[in-house]
Amino acid sequence: MPQVADLLLRSRELAEVSDTPELDTQLLLCRVLDCSSAWLKTWPDAPIDETQRIFFEALLNRRIIGEPIAYVLGEQGFWSLDLEVSDATLIPRPETELLIETALRVTLPSRSRVLDLGTGSGAIALALASERAKWLITATDNQPAALVIAEQNRHRYGLKNVDFLCGDWYAPVVGKRYQLILSNPPYIAPHDVHLNCGDVRYEPRSALVASGHGLDDLRHIITYAPAFLERMGWLMTEHGYNQAADVRALYRDAGFQKIVTKSDVNGLERITLGCNSF
Ligand code: GLN
C-alpha cells in the first residue's frame, strides 16, 4: 500500500506546469486525506488506501495538464477568506488585496453604501463586508454562474450586508448613489500573449479581456461613476501595470480630484483612485 511520502514524491510530475510543485502536491493530498500539511509532515508513513489513491490521481492529473490549483481545489484564499471558485470566476489575486487595504483607509461614513462592479467570486465585496459590518454593499456581475459562486461564498461566512445583482456594470443600480465604488474589471488587451500562459488560459475571457487595448471597461466604469457617487465619494479601480497614465487621464476627464495611483507588492502601478467633487 502506498504511503504519504510516496504520493508527495509525485510532485516531480508537476515540475513543468507549476512554480510550486511540492506545495501543490501537498495541497492536493491534504484535500484527499482531509488533513493539514503539518499532519502530512508528521505522518510520512501513513498508508493511502485505494479510494484515496484514485482520488489523488484524478486531482493530480488535472493539475498536470495545467488546470490552476485553485480550480482543482475549488478554493482560493483572499484577504482573510477562503473563497469557493470555479471556471466561471476569475481566481482572486493577491494584488487585488491592495484595493481592500486602500478602501479600508479612506475616510467614509460608518454606514457607507458601497458598490463592487464585476464581483466574480465576490472577493472584493465579501472581504470588505468581513471588515465593515455596517457598510451596505451591493455587487454586480453579468455572469449568473459567477453570482451563484459569490452567493455561496457570502453564505459560507454568514455575511448579511452584501447583495449580489445580475447585470452589466451599473445597469442593476440605476438611480442609486454610493460613497465608494470599486472594481477589478477586465483590462487585458484581446491579443495579449499572456492570455496563452499558465492559469490565465483556464479563466473566463469575459473576466480578463476588454477591447480598446484593455481600457474600454475601465473607461465605461470611470466615465459613468460620477452619476452613481455621492459628493466626495471615492472610485477605485484595478488596472494593468502599464495603464496607469491612461486611467488617470480617464479619471481627470470624468472630473475626479485627488487622483492617486498605488503600486502593488511587485512595485507595479496597479490601482488608481479619485474623489468625486461634484
Ligand atoms: N490581474 C490579472 C492578470 O494579469 C487580470 C485580472 C483582470 O483583468 N482584472 O492576469
Q: What is the pLDDT of residue 8?
A: 97
Residue nearest to atom 10 of ligand 1 (CA): 200
Q: What is the pLDDT of residues 92-116, one digit of tens each?
A: 999 999 999 999 999 999 999 999 9
The answer to whether the CB of 274 is under 6 A from ligand 1 is no
Counting from 1 in the atom list of ligand 1, the atom nearest the Cα of 209 is 8
Q: 87-276, superfamily in CATH?
A: Vaccinia Virus protein VP39 (3.40.50.150)
Phi, psi of 76, rounded to the nearest 5 degrees:
-145, 135
Residues of the chain above pLDDT 90, percent: 99
Alpha carbon distance 45, 19 (integer Å): 27
Whole-number Å distance, alpha carbon 94 to ligand 1 midpoint, is 11
Residue nearest to atom 5 of ligand 1 (CA): 208
C-alpha cell at 63: 493539475
Contact indicator for 126, 84 with CB cutoff of 8 Å: no
Nearest to 69 by CA among 41, 29, 27: 27
Q: What is the pLDDT of residues 199-212, one digit of tens each?
A: 999 999 999 999 99
Helix then strand count (H, E) for the chain reads 11, 9
Residue nearest to atom 2 of ligand 1 (CA): 208
The answer to whether the CB of 189 is under 6 A from ligand 1 is no
C-alpha cell at 128: 470588505
Mean pLDDT of 219-240: 97
Whole-number Å distance, alpha carbon 84 to ligand 1 midpoint, is 18
The answer to whether the CB of 208 is under 6 A from ligand 1 is yes
Phi, psi of 274, rounded to the nearest 5 degrees:
-155, 160
Give pTM, 2 decimals: 0.94
- What's the mean per-residue pLDDT of the chain? 97
Whole-number Å distance, alpha carbon 192 to ligand 1 midpoint, is 11
Mean pLDDT of 245-259: 98
The answer to whether the CB of 148 is under 6 A from ligand 1 is no
Alpha carbon distance 182, 104 (integer Å): 12
Mean pLDDT of 36-63: 97
Counting from 1 in the atom list of ligand 1, the atom nearest the Cα of 184 is 9
Task: Map out the domains of the chain as residue ranges.
Answer: 4-66, 87-276
Phi, psi of 183, rounded to the nearest 5 degrees:
-160, 140
Q: What is the pLDDT of residue 277?
A: 84
Counting from 1 in the atom list of ligand 1, the atom nearest the Cα of 185 is 9
- pLDDT band for 190, please (50, 70, 90 cuts): very high
Residue nearest to atom 6 of ligand 1 (CA): 208
